[in-house]
């Protein structure tokens, strides 16, 4: 089952499935590559705003969590839910 597809420009797009996969295209959708997610994370939602920056939300054996990437998904950094709540949806440690 596919989730959402979002293109950030004419060639770069992100697609996530409800089976925990996040895919990326850089050629307008002709080819799709899988992006590695944090271990044991069941992907529930994704929002990618550019070729390099995005957020994911998921759950797993260790609980649920939010993550941020600034390098196109090569690395994911946990986002504290306390920071998100304190800022009413905007985490202090994430660049705007």
**Confidence at residue 44, expressed as pLDDT on a 0 to 100 scale:** 83
**Confidence at residue 61, expressed as pLDDT on a 0 to 100 scale:** 67
* Per-residue pLDDT tens over the stretch 56-95: 888 876 667 888 999 988 998 888 766 555 554 444 445 4
* Per-residue pLDDT tens over the stretch 2-52: 778 889 889 999 998 867 788 999 999 999 999 888 877 788 888 888 888
**Confidence at residue 85, expressed as pLDDT on a 0 to 100 scale:** 54
Calculated CA dihedral for residues 8, 9, 11, 12, nearest 10 degrees: -20
Cβ neighbours of 3 (radius 10 Å): 16
**Confidence at residue 28, expressed as pLDDT on a 0 to 100 scale:** 95
What is this structure's pTM? 0.72
Q: Which of 8, 45, 47 is nearest to 26 (CA)?
A: 8
């Amino acid at each position: 089952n596919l989730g959402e597809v979002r293109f950030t420009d004419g060639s770069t797009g992100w697609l996530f499935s409800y089976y925990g996969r996040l895919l990326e295209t850089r050629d307008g959708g002709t080819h799709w590559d899988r992006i590695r997610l944090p271990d044991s994370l069941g992907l529930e939602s994704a929002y990618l705003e550019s070729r390099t920056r995005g957020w994911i939300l998921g759950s797993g054996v260790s609980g649920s969590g939010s993550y941020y990437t600034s390098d196109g998904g090569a690395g994911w950094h946990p986002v504290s839910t306390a920071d998100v709540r304190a800022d009413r949806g905007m985490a202090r440690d994430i660049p705007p």
